[in-house]
Amino acid sequence: MSDDAGPSVAEMGRRLAEAAHLETTPLCVFESGRAPEGSTPFGQADRCLAKAAFLCAKGKFGPLHIGPDSRRGVCPGGLFWTGLSEMSEGLRHFISCGSPTFRGGEAEYLKRDPEMVMASLSRVGRMRPPQEHLCLIACRNYQEGMGNPRALLLFASAEQTRNILALHHYGTPEAFTSAGVPWGPSCASFLSYPAGMSPNLPDSMTVVGPVDGVPGVFAVVGVNSYEPSALKRNVLPLLACAHWKMPPATV
């Protein structure tokens, strides 16, 4: 990628990992007409899309992908939140307070009642399906032509997340809307929201999550809407510094 187009995905990942002292590998979320060579379907890595993404960042798996022809093994919620299926009738009960007619009354207690679940989903909007495949790969391994980059996915500790957000706010005049912690499952925080699959998520929002309490998964920052012009304007100062050849930012 030329200077005019902005820094490459690999360069952005390298700079972010170095500046934030990340212990896991920065990942690129992208859409593609074909899965990357050697890619593993998400469902073969883990039933939970969020856990599979975390394992990818830990180096346990190489590239991952999901699409209409690679849905096997993924939980029904993950399929819904990636736009690959309709929501099952019982899911609104499972997310809230449970129902004896669905999974024996099991519940996540993430919403007060099923009506609150549906009201929140109406604000999320209908999740669009990926363009053939939604893929995940280490930033250092992403190459031009693989597909359309949608987001960077960074797993970070609380302090690292704070520092990344401080860098983010350095490069934008927006005080309230450029970063957020939206409601939803971990797979939405890690993949769907940063990739712009919800029609109502603000463009170029840095998504912080998860908020559903998945055990064993750290905070994550997803940089939404990978567009070089947007990156130069208002995403992370590391990226702006790379473009304008300013001294490298430090954390």
Q: What's the number of CA atoms in the CB half-sphere (13 Å) around residue 153?
A: 33
CA distances to 2, 14, 69, 175, 208 from 242, rounded to whole Å, are 11, 11, 38, 23, 23
Residue 37 has φ and ψ, to the nearest 5°, of -60, 130
Say how far apart CA 117 and CA 112 lie, in whole Å: 8
Mean pLDDT of 181-196: 92
3 has pLDDT over 60: no
Comparing CA positions, the residue from 157, 151, 121 lying closest to residue 134 is 151
Mean pLDDT of 20-24: 91
Cβ atoms of 78 and 72 closer than 8 Å = no
222 has pLDDT over 70: no
Domain-by-domain residue ranges, the chain?
9-37+141-244
Q: Which tops the pLDDT comparison, 157 or 2?
A: 157
pLDDT at 205: 85
Say how far apart CA 146 and CA 149 lie, in whole Å: 9
pTM here is: 0.83
